């Protein structure tokens, strides 16, 4: 089977699942709880530590990133209010950011050398890529059905698209590495996220099936439970990017040597929009 055919089939299956998910209030509620978890994950420690190591303009960029994430917390809480969040509805969801951070030994605690914080920021880059893919899929399912929720998702997604570029620029400045080392570390963080995501999405898919999706046929429910089981046997689950939106935000470091801290803005100013 060709790669293009596999991608087309995967997209159709994801669209079908998302359509059924957004039609079920309980499942949609659990999904937005997952989004809220991803936003309320303690990243502030990294932002504070990184901003203190940079020149004023790149530090301001990091603080804009932090402000965006705080605003996202408010947006996801608003979505939960719209869905009439009910504490009695329990679920077995997992938090991807926390699981990845634990897997990496607490990298997002905001501790260590400049180079170590640069690695942490590339881990954020990998997580932001996943978030963009998930939010793009969710927005497509919500359009025309739940426009108020679709607007919330689109606002967060558009911010995260900017953050993909910002994370790379900030990491490059912090790491002080050559181009090959920077790319290797970026690829390493993407690979780590893709491996850990498998277990998290398996748990979260099971949580969604357990609490909702009552309109799903027994055959389809069995298919998705089989899919959840199969995920435990895959090596990794790369971020889907059928429209190339995420790839377009990949940043290539400049050929010139990295300038001293505080003088880098002229090199980056055209790269962070």
Residue with more model confidence, 206 or 262: 206
Burial 56-75 (b: 16+ CB within 10 A, else e): eebbebbebbbebbeebeeb
The per-residue pLDDT for range 180-202, each reduced to its tens digit, is 999 999 999 999 999 999 889 88
Give the whole-angstrom CA distance, residue 138 versus residue 212.
Answer: 16
Alpha helices in 212-257, H assignment, sequence order: 218-231
Picking from 272, 180, 184, 212, the residue whose alpha carbon sits closest to that of residue 83 is 212
Give the pLDDT score at 265. 54
pLDDT higher than 90, residue 73 = yes
Query: What is the band of 225 on the pLDDT scale with cuts at 50, 70, 90?
Result: confident
Picking from 188, 42, 71, the residue whose alpha carbon sits closest to that of residue 126 is 188
Give the pLDDT score at 236. 86
What is the pLDDT averaged over residues 3-25? 78
DSSP state of 120: H
Give the whole-angstrom CA distance, residue 169 versus residue 171.
Answer: 5
Q: pLDDT over 90 for what percent of the chain?
A: 45
Residue with more model confidence, 269 or 214: 214
Residues 6 or more apart whose CB falls under 8 angstroms from that of 179 comprise 253, 255
Residues 6 or more apart whose CB falls under 8 angstroms from that of 26 comprise 89, 211, 212, 214
Give the pLDDT score at 7. 63
pLDDT higher than 70, residue 84 = yes
Give the whole-angstrom CA distance, residue 139 versus residue 152.
Answer: 9
What is the pLDDT averaged over residues 246-258? 78
Give the pLDDT score at 273. 58
Architecture of domain 11-252: Orthogonal Bundle (1.10)
The per-residue pLDDT for range 49-65, each reduced to its tens digit, is 999 999 888 999 999 99
> Are the C-beta atoms of 203 and 92 separated by less than 8 Å?
yes
> Are the C-beta atoms of 186 and 168 separated by less than 8 Å?
yes
Domain ranges of the chain: 11-252
Lowest mean pLDDT among 104-108, 174-178, 227-231, 244-248: 227-231
Residue with more model confidence, 69 or 270: 69
Q: Is 84 left (phi over 0), alpha (psi -120 to 50) or beta?
A: left
> Are the C-beta atoms of 185 and 177 separated by less than 8 Å?
yes
The per-residue pLDDT for range 115-164, each reduced to its tens digit, is 999 999 999 999 999 999 999 999 999 998 999 999 999 999 999 999 99
Q: pLDDT over 70 for what percent of the chain?
A: 89
Burial 235-266 (b: 16+ CB within 10 A, else e): eebebbbeeeebeebebebeeeebeeeeebbe
Say how many CA atoms lie within 13 Å of 242 toward its Cβ.
15
The per-residue pLDDT for range 86-99, each reduced to its tens digit, is 878 888 888 888 89
pLDDT higher than 80, residue 257 = no
Per the prediction, the chain carries an average pLDDT of: 87
């Amino acid at each position: 089977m060709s790669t293009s055919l596999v991608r087309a089939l995967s997209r159709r299956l994801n669209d079908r699942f998302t359509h059924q998910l957004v039609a079920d209030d309980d499942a949609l509620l659990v999904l937005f709880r997952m989004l809220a978890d991803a936003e309320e994950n303690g990243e502030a420690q990294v932002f504070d530590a990184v901003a203190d190591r940079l020149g004023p303009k790149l530090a301001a960029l990091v603080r804009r990133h932090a402000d965006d994430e705080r605003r996202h917390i408010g947006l996801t809480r608003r979505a939960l209010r719209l869905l009439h969040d009910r504490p009695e509805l329990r679920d077995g969801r997992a938090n991807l950011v926390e699981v990845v951070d634990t897997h990496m030994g607490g990298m997002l605690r905001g501790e260590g050398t400049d180079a170590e914080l640069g690695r942490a920021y590339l881990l954020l880059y990998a997580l932001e890529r996943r978030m963009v893919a998930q939010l793009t899929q969710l927005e497509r399912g919500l359009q025309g059905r739940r426009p108020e929720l679709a607007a919330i998702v689109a606002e967060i997604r558009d911010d995260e698209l900017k953050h993909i570029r910002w994370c790379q620029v900030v990491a490059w400045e912090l790491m002080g590495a050559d181009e090959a080392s920077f790319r290797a570390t970026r690829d390493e963080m993407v690979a780590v996220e893709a491996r850990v995501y498998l277990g998290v999405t398996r748990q979260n898919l099971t949580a969604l099936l357990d609490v909702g999706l009552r309109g799903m046929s027994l055959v389809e429910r069995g298919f998705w439970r089989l899919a959840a089981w199969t995920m435990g046997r895959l090596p990794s689950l790369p971020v889907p990017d059928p429209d190339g939106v995420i790839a377009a935000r990949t940043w290539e470091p400049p050929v010139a040597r990295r300038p001293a801290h505080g003088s880098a803005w002229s090199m980056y100013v055209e790269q962070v929009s």
